[in-house]
Amino acid sequence: MNYRALTSRTAALAFGLASITTLASASDVLIIVNGTVMSERGGGITSGPFSNVQIGEAVTFVGGCNRPAPGGPSTGLRSSTIDHETFFLKMGNASVTEALNTQGTTVTIANDHVENGSLPVDYLITGFSMEDSGFVSVLLFDPVGIDFNSNDITLLTGNYVQSLPITNLYVGNPIGVNRGLICRIDNLEIVQRSQMGQTLCSAATPNSTGSQGELIAEGFDSAFANDLTIRGTHLPIGQFGMLVGSKTSTAPMTVSNSQGLICLGGSVGRFLHQVRPIGSSATAPGVGTIVFKPDLEAMPQLNGFVPAMAGETWTFQAWHRDVVGGAVTNNFTTAVAVTLR
């Protein structure tokens, strides 16, 4: 089980959020909850990382899920499978970043759901199990059915706030479901994976393919989610590339012994552990592509590794080897700047 006391970085992040470990998943949607511990059930939590959490302390939860099965009406119930690789729970000064891979668990969305002749209601309900740490469940309930206009969670991006007593996040004790902490949901946000960032160095020098290498960012711009993918395209197949990054961007500059232009300034870090071969795109055969997953917990800089903070803008470029006219050389892609939150 991976849990730890949070460092001073917590205070620096938006909403008082803490960092989490690198996530290998590609969740389609994040459910982000900010709340407050309000009461105990059955004596509260008596063991595990959250045994010292007090009433009134802040709670943050991040859960990942995948797209629901397509088709069907937009009203009624629809479920999506949980992505257990994307999980984060912070209560007080302790956090947990791992959930059990329990088969069949889901996020269920109800839009205008009618049961036993009742009035139409909307709700979101999900639950994650934590190894040796109990479980967490989230219930957002709207008894008048005005929150959701679809039961497809990928169409519900945005913020939802409820204050009803039955709307809560519950963290159960490891030893039993009747002991735990009930937390008020102050804000629930649904975020969909998307392409993001601003393209810089758009005048990149064409490589041996005749095209300029292009870099895009996709995933989530949340620092605490640590789920960012940097993808390069139109690159020479069979060569290798490396991601570089900085908190400072500059006007395009020439680099000695390189055909390319660099748009990074200040402390430029090289992601040496993410040197990748350039392969053929699965969707566009013959087009060279490369994929990087930067660890926002450990961004390389000249003086070592630093965590990326909410509010910071990081600019990325990909350096790659190339062969032009029989001569070995190197080049750079366009750059992409991503502001984290």
**Mean pLDDT lowest for which of 99-108, 183-192, 260-269?**
99-108
Are residue 164 and residue 258 in the same domain, yes or no?
Answer: no
Please answer whether residues 222 and 190 qualify as being in contact, where contact means their C-beta atoms are separated by less than 8 angstroms: no
- Last residue of one domain, picked from the residues 141, 161, 192: 192
Whether the predicted pLDDT of 4 surpasses 70:
no
Q: Is the pLDDT confidence value at 53 over 60? A: yes
User: Are 109 and 186 in the same domain?
Assistant: yes
User: Based on the domain organization, do 148 and 260 belong to the same domain?
Assistant: no
Residues 242 and 130 in one domain: no
Contact indicator for 216, 201 with CB cutoff of 8 Å: no
Do 100 and 117 sit in the same domain of this protein? Answer: yes
Domain count of the fold of the chain? 2
pTM for this one?
0.71
Domain range holding 288? 194-339
Confidence band for 163, pLDDT divided at 50, 70 and 90: low
- Percent with pLDDT over 70 in the chain: 90
| Each residue's pLDDT tens digit, 301-341 | 988 999 999 899 999 999 999 999 899 999 999 999 999 98
DSSP symbols for 64-111: EEPPPPS-S-SSEEEEEEEEEEEEEEEETTEEE------TT-EEEEEE
pLDDT tens for residues 222-273? 887 788 899 999 999 999 999 999 999 999 999 888 999 999 999 999 999 8
- Domain check: are 94 and 25 in the same one? yes
Residue ending a domain, among 164, 192, 220, is: 192
Residues 167 and 241 in one domain: no
Q: Do residues 152 and 225 both lie within one domain?
A: no
> How does pLDDT run across 21-40, given as a tens digit for each residue?
333 346 889 999 999 999 99
